[in-house]
Amino acid sequence: MINSSSVNIGAVPTRYGFPHTSPVEQLTRRQYQILRALAVGQSNKSIAAELGITENTVSNHLLVIYKILQISEETNQRVMAALVFHRLAGNE
């Protein structure tokens, strides 16, 4: 039997399981794949090979990801993106 007090009837699943207010929910599926790969330390070359796209395409996606996650060019963008991903995923 399900305890009705533990079930949020109004809950709507989000695209990637992050809170609705998370900027990660604004990413496309491909951008999310790239962010997840970046978060575990893969290089652009490795990401490109895994996804069957060019390194230039990975770089272009990363520029958009950084903008969505509001990571400025002055910071180490790869590290910040990985930290944001892990923080939002609850993997602190």
For residues 68 and 71, give the distance between their C-alpha atoms in angstroms, rounded to a whole number.
8
Q: Please report which confidence band the pLDDT of residue 76 belongs to, taking 50, 70 and 90 as the band edges.
A: confident
Residue 25 scores a pLDDT above 70: yes
| Per-domain residue ranges of the chain | 24-88
pLDDT of residue 16: 63
Residue 33 scores a pLDDT above 80: yes
In words, the CATH class of domain 24-88 is mainly alpha
Question: What is the average pLDDT across 56-66?
Answer: 94
Return the SS3 of 72. coil
pLDDT of residue 52: 97
CA distances from 22 to 15, 50, 81 (A): 11, 26, 13
Q: How many CB atoms lie within 10 A of CB 24?
A: 22
Q: Identify the residue with better confidence: 20 or 33.
A: 33
